[in-house]
Amino acid sequence: MVRIFGCVACVVVMMGTAWPTRTVAQTTAGRDFVIHLTPGVAKGSCRGQKYQVGAFGGEATQLPDTKASGEAIAVPTGLQGQPATSLRVALWCRGYSMVLIDVPSLPASTFQAQVSLVPLNDVPFSGKVSASADGISMVGATLRVFYQAPWLCRFFGWLDCLVPQWEVSAGTIRDDSTFAVMVPDFAADPAILAAVPSAIGGLGVRAVPGVTPPAEDRGVLLLRADRRAAPYNWWLGSLPLAARYVDMALQPSR
């Protein structure tokens, strides 16, 4: 059985900066689990994380871009010469809602999942970045926007969790210190809205009609300005998810 969360047309309702990786070894032994995407997406537009369990213990890695095409993503399973017994995958493709896949028993599955992606709108994100406290200008720097998703820690069943995050947008800070980019409307993402806390050891993500998880649990946007000259990287703070982000006043810090 394969459970898929976050897509409307699925038979059963069911990550720039790399997702966190816990690596035991890089020797893979097993079949690829293939995720078929409808519609197809541009190659390289998806970010993902997998967590597999077997006799080798548990292992989490970022999904390899080299095994992705526009219509399918091949997820390697198995480790250290041993097959995996279960698999969980979190997937984000630009322009679409998050998708979560839970395969409790890999041997009993077909090693395939058909996912109908749900379109997700972008929303405006604009404002102005001031100079740093010591007078360093951010003009010409690249503004990078990352989405940080603490609710994925529960989905994967991690008690000790390096919170998954990945880049979702970028743009240039203009000569007048202003910026304007578009970011995914994560505040309206059905998979995120269904990420309600549940008992430790459970799936960790379940839909409860009429219940919206706490704002901080749904994640935040992390902001960074990358200059072309030293000092290079400056954090601009974090923002809770919202329907839009306009007239933001950002202050760099290191």
- Tell me the domain boundaries of the chain: 3-116, 122-250
Digits of tens for pLDDT over the chain (254 positions)? Answer: 566 655 433 323 233 344 444 433 344 567 999 999 988 898 889 999 999 999 999 999 998 777 778 889 999 999 989 999 999 999 999 999 999 999 999 999 999 999 999 999 999 999 999 999 999 999 999 999 999 998 898 899 988 888 899 999 999 999 999 999 999 999 999 988 876 554 333 344 444 455 555 566 789 999 999 999 999 999 999 999 999 899 999 999 98
**pTM tops 0.75, yes or no:** yes
Element (H, E) at 152: helix 151-156
Give the 3-state secondary structure of residue 237.
Answer: strand
How far, in Å, are 82, 105, 127, 157 from residue 53 at the CA level? Answer: 10, 10, 44, 11
Q: At which residue do the structure tokens 């202050």 appear?
A: 251
Measure the CA angle with vertex 16, ends 205 and 150; round to 5°: 25
Q: Identify the sign of the CA torsion 36, 37, 38, 40.
A: negative
Q: Which residues pair with 37 in a beta bridge?
A: 115
How, if at all, do strands 245-250 and 220-226 pair?
unpaired
Whether the Cβ atoms of residue 250 and residue 127 lie closer than 8 Å to each other: yes
Element (H, E) at 171: strand 165-172
Nearest to 138 by CA among 168, 169, 172, 170: 172
Whether the Cβ atoms of residue 216 and residue 239 lie closer than 8 Å to each other: no
Measure the CA angle with vertex 92, ends 91 and 98; round to 5°: 85
Whether the Cβ atoms of residue 228 and residue 237 lie closer than 8 Å to each other: no
Determine how many CB atoms are found less than 10 A away from the CB of residue 25: 10
Measure the CA angle with vertex 28, ends 25 and 33; round to 5°: 130
Whether the Cβ atoms of residue 118 and residue 193 lie closer than 8 Å to each other: no
Q: At which residue do the structure tokens 């970022």 appear?
A: 62
Measure the CA angle with vertex 90, ends 89 and 92; round to 5°: 135
